[in-house]
Chain A
Amino acid sequence: MTAALTLDGVSKRYGDFQAVRDLSFEVEKGTICGFLGPNGAGKTSTIRMILGLQPATAGRITILGADDGRKVRDRIGFLPEERGLYKKMTPVDAIAFFGALKGLPTGEGRRRAREMLDAQGLGASKRKKMKELSKGMSQKVQLIASVVHRPEFVILDEPFSGLDPVNQQGLEAMIRGLAADGATVLFSTHVMQHAERLCDKVVLLARGNKAFEGTVAEARATTPRFLELEGAIAPDQAAGLPGVSGVEVVSEADGVRVLKAGLVSGGRGQDALKAAFLNGLDVRRFELREPSLHDAFIGLTGDNPDQDQSVKAAEAAR
């Protein structure tokens, strides 16, 4: 497959603060790539460098064959992390305006805007002003505005933030639709579940460094499966079971504990279960669990993706 985006040894430094360090990865044409990491990991800085809004301190970026995102800006759609549209414009006018900036004739932009708003269930809000729309509606309008010109490459910075579960599902469907139409999608998020459901490939970023690049399955495979045990059972009793390595207490109440016990490579759940039964352990629930992307992220980086690593403080300091 041909790469729509290539980053080669890209770094970004703000004064003394290293926001992105020696980052390299590729996104193939027509795929959905998740760019994952906690807030402040360097995702937005990287996206701004890809778009050419900020220069890289070092390294090389190639997008749609160009060495500067600004040269191909009409072929890119971008949804920024912090969203906003002109409050006094109607959704149709706003979408047509941003489409026109990307070279779409205004008339065609308005036609597509109406069509896409109808498809997203916003037909009744077409004539309202943006300030009259709910946050979820505004985000949908902004997403439409960023793709109305049918870009070849779509970059979405934290597209799910602030959306309720229903709208998150709708947005996932839109992203799948964009990819089905042949667009390459790169979206950043710190919520791993979206990436698990959507992505052909993920790039994990932690403290400005790439922690992983590959498919979701490959990411999960980096982390061992584990057992979840519930009952009046002590951690050292669980640790003594065959194939088990490392036990942590998830919760404890009235002498009943929930334990998470890692399985060593080649370790089998049924051996551990049999031993627990033979040893007369009080096990009331026994589950063999596959690791999630969230677990894989923690395993790969030692960071929790839900925790903030904000660079903003560093940026403010400079």
Chain B
Amino acid sequence: MKRTLLIARREFAAYAKTVGFWLSLLAFPIFGVLGGAIPILMKSSEPVREVVVVEEGPQAAGLAAAVQTALKEDQARRDKQRQEAEANIQAAAGGTSGGNAAKGALSGLDGPKIAIVAAPADLSAAAPGAAREAVARHYLGDEVDKADRLDAVVLLNRADGKPTARVWSRRATDSSVQRFVRTALKEEYRREVFEKAGIDATVVSSTAAFDPDVTTLSPKSASGGEVSFRDQLPMIIGLASGFILWSLIITGASILLNSVMEEKSNKILEVLLSSASATEILTGKVLGVALLTMTVLLVWGGIGAAGLIAGLPQYAPMIGEVLLSSGLLFYFAAYAVGGYLMYAVLFAAIGAFCETPRDAQTLMGPIMMILVVPLLVMQMAIRTPDAPVVQIMSWIPFFTPFLMSARAPSEPPMIEIVGTMAGMFAFALLMVWVAGRAFRAGALSDVKLSWKAFGAAIGRGR
């Protein structure tokens, strides 16, 4: 036992003492925050596009006003949405800083920033067609003073009575004005057609703006009726747990693989084997990397909890309650232990046969393919946790930790929980036995790794 702990301690210290470990550990939350913040920052820092709308003759009369009205309506709609969201947040948060943060984020995610400005006199005065377009090109170019420069010139017209537009844009790749004008003209044409058919314009716009009030109900909801965000939270947590578990297990098992490979290539394994049994070495290494993985989990969990409390304090108690009340924390811990054990010993045994990552590819390829399957099925397990394919796959020990973590919040039958967990642990123990034999044989072997050699090593033991 003492030797096992010594090896575990060395294994932990070898990684935990490196700057690289802490950098990669912090990289996940940092990139997570950046991944969420960058689009908001980009959106909020997006400049307002100054756009001129010009009608190309009397046949286009009314189209500029329609575009202007569409812009105002779009702005009003987004303002209303934002106010509603803010009200909801304020109600839940009680006016804390978290609500303000969310409010800022929401306002930053508004639609395209467009301001319709008055057309320069020479542009209005220019004859429709090529002459006006030449002037439009001038105002979009770099030779014009920044103050007079335009971002887009929209030339409105009609063809066969239907609205058309030529959108001159300063940046060839910026399609936001073009998209907005297209929607506005589509709306205007629909209004005109309905009007010609004798239908009132206000009826048309109110019909288009109609958003039915649909309520989701479930006898399994917390209230026994209407489904709230609180009811959806376990599902979100389940999915997040599955993904976190997957990444933790893969990270831990990969660290173990690399560690054993390094010891094999540096000829340390033979020295270790003269000082400790293969079981002690394998157990020590698995334990050391498990401590490392727990450190990662604690740091991620700590950062996540701190971020949640600071940013969305109204949800923090709710998430805590879900984790504790539904036994999710227990499931997560049990599946983490079983899953880690299964994959860690397997990866360590493979590492004992390899001196370079290239050597390991022979066996790692199929294993990685197996590992992708639960990632794909996990999303299905969230939406339809009782689908036969999900149920069947949950019984396959290699997939159990991930799929059952994702399914646990939907409260699958107890027989499935107990059965799959028992199967997973039984298989994990089998893997420990198999990997122990392979590890012992691989550590002293110069044999090139193949499925055949791996199988023979398991049969021979040492």
User: Within 8 Å CB of B446, what residues of A?
Assistant: 312, 315-316
| Chain A residues with CB below 8 A from B272, complex form | 101
Measured CB to CB, the closest approach of chain B to A98, in angstroms, equals 6
- Tell which of B244-252, B262-270, B334-342, B422-430 binds the partner: B262-270
User: Is B270 a contact partner of A85 (Cβ separation < 8 A)?
Assistant: no
CB within 8 A of A55: which of B3, B273, B462? B462
Question: B453: shortest Cβ distance to chain A, in Å?
Answer: 9
What chain B residues lie within 8 Å of A88 (beta carbons)?
Answer: 14
Chain B residue nearest to A87 in the complex (CB)? B266
In chain A between 128 and 148, which residues have their CB closer than 8 angstroms to a CB of chain B?
A: 142, 145-146
The reply on A307 being an interface residue by CB < 8 A is no
A53 in contact with B448 given A80-B267, A86-B266, A97-B6 (CB within 8 Å): no
Least CB distance from B21 to A in Å reads: 12
A70-B277 in contact (CB<8A): yes
Q: Which of A41-67 contact B (CB under 8 A)?
A: 48, 51, 53-55
Interface residue? A283 (CB, 8 A): no
User: Are B6 and A100 in contact, with the CB atoms below 8 A?
Assistant: yes
Contact yes or no, B6 A78, CB < 8 A: no
- CB within 8 A of A83: which of B10, B267, B277? B267
Q: Which residues of B contact A145 (CB under 8 A)?
A: 271
Indicate if the CB atoms of A316 and B462 lie closer than 8 Å: no
Given A100-B6, A312-B446, A316-B446: A85 in contact with B266 (beta carbons within 8 A):
yes
0/1 per residue, B424-462, Cβ < 8 Å to A? 000000000000000000001111100000000000001
Indicate if the CB atoms of A53 and B266 lie closer than 8 Å. Answer: no
> How many Å lie between the Cα of A88 and that of B263 in the bound state?
12
* Inter-chain contact A101/B275, CB cutoff 8 Å: yes
- Chain B proximity of A108: nearest CB distance (Å): 14
- A82-B270 CB under 8 A given contacts A315-B447, A316-B446: yes
Residues in B neighbouring A87, C-beta threshold 8 A: 266
Cβ of B215 < 8 Å from any Cβ of A? no
For the complex, is B276 an interface residue (Cβ under 8 Å from A)?
A: yes
- Residue from A76, A84, A318 within 8 A of B268 (CB atoms): A84
Q: Flag whether B274 is at the interface (Cβ < 8 A).
A: yes
Distance (whole angstroms) from the CB of A71 to the closest CB of chain B: 11
The interface residues of chain B lying within 8 Å CB-to-CB of A315 are 445-447
A102 is an interface residue with CB less than 8 A from chain B: yes
* Assembled-state Cα–Cα distance A97/B284 (Å): 14
Q: A29 at the A/B interface (Cβ < 8 Å)?
A: no
Out of A51, A73, A97, A312, name the residue touching B10 (CB < 8 Å): A97
Q: Which residues of B contact A76 (CB under 8 A)?
A: 274
A83 to B277, CA, bound (A): 19
Residues of A within 8 A of B462 (CB): 53-55
The answer to whether B274 touches A73 (Cβ under 8 A) is yes
When A55-B462, A85-B268 are in contact, do A316 and B274 touch as well, CB less than 8 Å?
A: no
Given A82-B270, A86-B266, are A102 and B275 neighbors across the interface (CB < 8 Å)? yes
List the A side residues contacting B271 at CB < 8 Å.
Answer: 78, 80, 84-85, 98, 142, 145-146
| Chain A 83-111 per-residue mask, 1 if CB under 8 angstroms from chain B, else 0 | 11111100000000110111100000000
Contacts A88-B14, A315-B446 given: A51-B266 contact, CB under 8 Å? no
Provide the residues of chain B in CB contact with A82, threshold 8 Å.
Answer: 267, 270
With contacts A84-B266, A84-B268, A101-B275 taken as known, whether A316 is within 8 angstroms of B10 at the C-beta atoms is no
Which residues of B lie under 8 Å from residue A142 when comparing CB positions?
A: 271
Q: Which residues of A contact B273 (CB under 8 A)?
A: 53
Instruction: Kindly state the separation between the CA atoms of A312 and B462 in the bound complex, as whole angstroms.
Output: 16
Closest residue of B by beta carbon distance from A100: B6
Q: Which of A51, A53, A80, A101 has the most CB of B within 10 A?
A: A101
Residue of A nearest to B445 (CB): A315
> B residues engaging A (CB < 8 A)?
2-3, 6-7, 10, 14, 263, 266-268, 270-277, 444-448, 462
Offer 28 A-B interface pairs, CB within 8 angstroms, sorted by A: A51-B274, A53-B444, A54-B462, A73-B276, A76-B274, A78-B275, A80-B270, A80-B271, A82-B267, A82-B270, A84-B267, A85-B268, A85-B271, A86-B10, A86-B14, A97-B6, A97-B10, A98-B271, A100-B6, A101-B3, A101-B7, A101-B272, A101-B275, A102-B275, A103-B2, A145-B271, A315-B446, A316-B446
Top 10 A-B residue pairs of the complex, sorted by shortest distance between their CB atoms: A84-B266, A84-B267, A101-B275, A78-B274, A82-B267, A80-B270, A84-B268, A100-B6, A51-B274, A53-B273
4 new A-B contacts at CB < 8 Å, known A53-B273, A53-B274, A85-B271: A73-B274, A80-B271, A101-B6, A318-B447
Residues of A participating in the B interface, judged by any CB pair closer than 8 Å: 48, 51, 53-55, 70, 73, 76, 78, 80, 82-88, 97-98, 100-103, 142, 145-146, 312, 315-316, 318
